Amino acid sequence: MGQKRDANRTEIEAASSFCVLFEDVFEEIRSLQTSVMQEVKDSAENIAGILDDVWRYTVHPYSENRMIHIFDIIGHVICSVIQKAVSQIDPWKINDGFKDNEILVLMTEGLNVVQTWIGACKSLTETYWPNYALHPWKGNAYIPNFCVNFETRLKEIHNIRSTYNQLIKLLTENEKVELNSHQFLEPFKNINIWIYNGPNQSWESAVANFSAKIRPAESKITEKLKPRMNNTSTKQMLYEFIRYKTLINRPLVKHALSNELDIFVSSLLAMLKTIQSQMDSDEVDVQMYQPAEMSPLVQRVQWAKQMEAKVKEVVICIENYLGEFENSEEVLKLASQLLRDLKTTYTQLHEDWSRDIQALVRDESAAAGDGPVVRFSREERLMEVRFEPRLVRAESEARALAALALAPPAALRVALAALTAPLAHARALHQVASFHNTLGERMIPSTRPMMLQAALELAALVQDDQPLYWHDEEKLIDYTERLKRVVLKLEGQNTYLTGQHLAIRNIIVKLMDTDLLAKQSEWKKGIKDIRDIIEKVEANGYKNTDMWRSHWDFQFSTQALP
């Protein structure tokens, strides 16, 4: 179209734009052939985004029929890539446990890919494009039918393989031999499992044959599953159900476990009511869910997100496997309400966190020009870093929230970026200050004078009168490195002196159990060893050992341990 002489300017411009966009689609398709499944999924999402750009080009709108054709083409490519990957690993091959699990993982990833494409086609033609006023989609929502059929077949293969894997985990070696478990998957050998757009008698016959072969095994493992689904912990029962859900959903097994599953559904309802109660009371102990270095507000967000994931698991279990049991409707109703409330909770908390951090950033930015960056408190002589500790944690909190799909607002990201250099140095300086302020607690009192010189070096460095500002990065780097060197020196000295102190202590402990009159030679040797240790410490440059010597003299005189 772009090369036609009789084409008008609008057509030429549209053709050129479409060529550029479809070149990007082509690059994505080309990469699919050598990509792992996660990358195939990413490409499917990228292609959907490009097609959205194609549809929203309104100079010369793209037609619905052509777009449907494009959906089909991409769908065929995606299904072919997944089919090839699954066929290469042979879904019916029996391996060791690890390899068997790899097969399931690949099929799960393949299902995610085709579901991503189905979801993209549906959302574009059902939600986004019909509401795009400049070029509305007027037809029905479109999903390639063969993609739906492919998803159904891949799900069937996954469920059969999953059922086999779960059976094998529960059967003993003797039971496997007795039941000929190595033949369970034989019905699927040498048949074309990829005929899925119409009747496939061979496939249906193989499925029926498989069901017949595993029926005796299903009877055996039912008794093994009963105690797993009869636990005092609802969380543990939920874990066991999800672990064996495909097997439990088999008609024979589900019927045999009906009482246990009925109790399980009631337990799920009680668990949801507990979550609701915790939300209403605001008394949940959030620290039991996340590390204490996060602020209580962020911990609360993380708790709400974790509860949301748990509630979603419950919904999947009820909707897909347990809908026929009593209380299932009440579970789904309460779960739906909880999901709304939890989303409202963590959204509001995230907004509160963003406002708090923005206020801190403004305050810190205003104060950043005032030095010094480090000082000693007058009362307790503690090292203080003049940078809000809460901001030092803000970066890690922001990453934790982003991992929960709660990224900071753009304005806050810009504000934090402006403090990138001060934040990096403040984090290092806070670590130095923490060491300095707790060193006295870790030092043995009698050894403190021997570290006086290094301690004075640190104090002199901290109290340096030269002005130092957060924006002066070169000086900050030099200052931080010098502080680290002195702190490491102090830490090394403390470790060394503590070791020597304990060595003397061990000698004295031994001497206390030794009769002085009967074994004078051992006492003489012990005392000599102690003197040697003290002299070695002094030879290594440690001065002011009088208090240390007096300490051990006192231990000898009182025959008491430190």
**H helix or E strand, kind and range, residue 245:** helix 245-248
Map 365-378 to HEC letters. HHHCCCCCCEEECC
Output b/e per residue, 526-560; b: 16+ Cβ within 10 A: beeebeebbeebeeeebeebeebeebbeebeeeee
How many angstroms separate the CA atoms of 90 and 189, rounded? 10
Q: What is the pLDDT of residues 276-310, one digit of tens each?
A: 988 877 665 555 445 557 888 888 999 999 999 99
47 near 86, Cβ under 8 Å?
no
**Can you give the pTM of this predicted structure?**
0.68
Q: What is the pLDDT of residues 103-119, one digit of tens each?
A: 899 999 999 999 999 99
How many angstroms separate the CA atoms of 284 and 298, rounded? 13
CB atoms within 10 A of CB 400: 20
511 near 522, Cβ under 8 Å?
yes
Give 175's pLDDT tier (boundaries 50, 70, 90): very high
Q: What is the pLDDT of residues 65-74, one digit of tens each?
A: 999 999 999 9
Q: Residue 382 has which token pair?
A: 């503690």
Q: Dihedral, CA atoms, 14, 19, 24, 30, nearest 10 degrees?
A: 150
Q: How far is CA 146 from CA 45, 71, 74, 486, in A?
A: 19, 11, 12, 69
Q: What is the pLDDT of residues 438-479, one digit of tens each?
A: 877 778 888 888 888 887 887 777 666 566 666 677 877 888
Q: What is the pLDDT of residues 364-402, one digit of tens each?
A: 665 555 556 777 776 666 777 777 667 777 878 888 888
Q: Please state the φ and ψ torsions of residue 256, each to the nearest 5 degrees.
A: -70, -25
